[in-house]
Structure formats: structure tokens, C-alpha cells
Structure 1
Amino acid sequence: MAGIRDRTPLWMQTRCGLEPRTLAALTVVLLVAAGLAGGYFWMGRPEPVRAPELVRAAPATVAPKGRAGAEPEPEARQEVGSPATPPVPPPAPPVPLASSGTKVVVVDVGGKVRRPGVLTLPAGSRVEDALQAAGGVRSGADLTGVNRARVLSDGEQVLVDVPGAQAGGPGPGSVGSAGGAGVGGVPGAPVSLNTATVEQLETLPGVGPVLAQHIVDHRTEHGGFRSVSELREVSGIGERRFADLEPLVRP
């Protein structure tokens, strides 16, 4: 304590009287004050703060293209804590509208049917469809020779159980009980290229089984004959044979 008193300034020795207790208390106060000040400045020092990092979200499932040539949406980025955005479903494909120009066939249904008359049916309809549209056949009608699975052609006539009506293939003409060559079984009448059978075509001059089958195959492939001149397109018919057949046939 004597050493501390010797090092104390003169003004403090004079003021405090250098009492041992007073000097010890003063020393303790100074040390505590210095410690508190040092701790205060240490806690208040500036510290570096790191900015939060952006986290790339997992790429959302890319929806399939809604139409040809559409580009997928770019991957979305989201920050940590933001709600995940659900993938947008692709737009539904447009429903195709029925075309106003749909092809149809107009046929004349007669004979032993409940509602005979001219009917308009969708293209590709068959004889059975025409009979159903006409109310069906009457009880007891003879359907021998009627090919109900045959595809109809525009402008054809379908006759059921009519005496003398001709059974034939697709195209304008009649369908019914078997008859002879010509139209409606009338001898010498032109043979219909669209309704005649292979046997009926063989009655024409210069037409054998092979050529008759070629004619039937051509009308089936092209949907019937629209004019007699199309007979030139059949394999095996040249100009000379066409000149012989032209006055004896009709579409």
C-alpha cells in the first residue's frame, strides 16, 4: 500500500488524505470501471454480416407441348422460403368441328320397303344403311341378289324385290332380284358399268372373264364410273375395243 501511495499523484494524495481504505476502494472502482468500459466497447464492435444466398429451386416438370412448334417455358427460379409454383397443365387440344362440306350420297330406294323415296346418306354408307333409312324391308320381301354390304354410290337406285330389277355392284343403277343383261332386264338396253356383275359384263362383245373382272376392280377402286369415257382407263381396253363397247354401255 505504501508503494501505491508513493505512485499516486500529489493532488490525489492531498484530496483523499491517502487513507489505506480510501485508496483501496478507489483502486477497485477504477479497475471495475475499466473492465466494464472494455467489455462495452468489445461487444459494440462491428461484425461482418453475410448476405443470404439465393438457392436455385428444382426445375419444375416441363409440360408436353400443346401444339406443334410450341417452346417449353423457361425454368423458374425461386428464393428460399417462397412457395413452389405448380406446373401449368398443357391446354386441351381443340375439338375438331364437323365440316359443313361433308360428302354425302343421294340414292333412290324403292320396291318392298316401308318408306320408299330419295334419301341423303353420308358418303360411305352401305345398302343396308339405305334400307334402314327407308324404314326397313317389308315382311316377305325377297332379298335374293341384294348385296346389303355394298357401298353406295351417288345417284344410284336401290330396288327391293321388284320383278325384272337388276342386281349389280356400286354406282348408279338398281339392286334387286337377278335379271338379264341391260337395265331392268330389258333386252338390248345398255349395260350399266356401275351395277353389272362380272357375268353380265361378259355378255358384251370382246369382254371375257379377265377383262370383266378388271372393269369391276376399276369401279371398286375409283368409286364407280362417272362417264363411259372412263372405260379407257381400264387395263385391256384400247381405242378399238372402246369404240365397240361405247354404244352398248352406260355409267
Structure 2
Amino acid sequence: MAALLLVLAVALGFAAYHFWTGRPQTVQAPPVESAARSRAALSSAPPAAGPSVPSSASAPGGRSLLVDVTGEVRRPGVHRLPDGARVADALRAAGGVRPGTDLDGLNRARLVTDGEQIVVGGHPAAAAAPAAPGTAAGGGPPAGPVSLNSATVDQLDALPGIGPVLAQHIVDYRTRQGGFSSVEQLREVNGIGERRFAELQPLVVP
């Protein structure tokens, strides 16, 4: 009888042990404040290092040009154009051409260069020096006085006793001195002596 009671007691003890250890355990959730701090730490962490890109990087060929547009345009002045721009682009940058402007001789498809000046409305022959009064169109001997301040080398060469070298000396003197104020200044030109000056005096004017 005592042995039976002892066996029952041992069996009840094992059953109680397994019941106690097999019951569900309560798990405590992490504090809300700790989770919030973790998210804040992640958001404030510095980004991963990567290749740096300069903020002022420019695309290849991004050079700009400065062009002076004058004449019959709405906004004459210096305008900045992209590299590879043409005369037509410069005209648009200047506000367009005024109505009725003659564009003969102006190549609007030409590429512009940095620092150039585009004159709108000028005649193709505007850059040439005006013909001297009384000078023959074919380059022959002059029919009247030749202006020392406006004659070209060819026109001066047509004067008696003046060759291309001496004509160039006259033009060079005119450039250095800012023009002739009197015919007597021809004496100061290298290569003109008294005899040649006497031949030229009635044929030229300042």
C-alpha cells in the first residue's frame, strides 16, 4: 500500500512539472520610445559615399561667343551666342531685322566667330574706300584732283610719277598722321622730292 502511494505521488509530481513548463509565456513588447529613436538614428545617418559630381560641370563644347550686332536691328549691341551659332542666330538675338532692311551681301548661314561685328543694312561695297573725285573707273589717269585722304593705293598709283610702293608710303603716312591737312605735307612722305611734289601739287587735294 505504501509503495502504491509513493508511485502515485511521483506520477502526480511529473504531471505537475510538465503542466507548468508547457504553459504559454508572456513576451514584453519593446518600448515605443526605443523604436522611434532607432528610426531617427537611421534617418540622420550620413549617406553612403559615392562618386562626386561637380555642380558647375558643363557639357563638352559649351563655349559661348560674344558678337556685336549693329545697324538695322531692334536691339543692337553685344550678344552672347552658343558655339556654332550662325549669322541668323545673331540677328534673332538682336531682336530681328527692321522692316525694309536690305540684306543683300549678308550671308545669314555663315558661322560667327568670337568678337566679330555684324553690320546689318550695310552695302557689300561699304568697306571699300570711296573713289577719289575725278578718278577714272578703269584705273586710268585721273581726270581731276585726287583726294589724299580718301584715295586708294591703286588710285594714287595712277598719278604721274607714283608707283605702287610710293602710293603705299602715302597711305601709310596718312594712317600715322590721321590724314592730310594740306597738300604741302606730301613733302614729308618718304620718296617724294621737290621735283615730284611740283608735278603732284596741281593734281591732288587734302
> Which is richer in helix?
2
TM superposition score normalised by structure 2: 0.38
TM-score by length of 1: 0.33
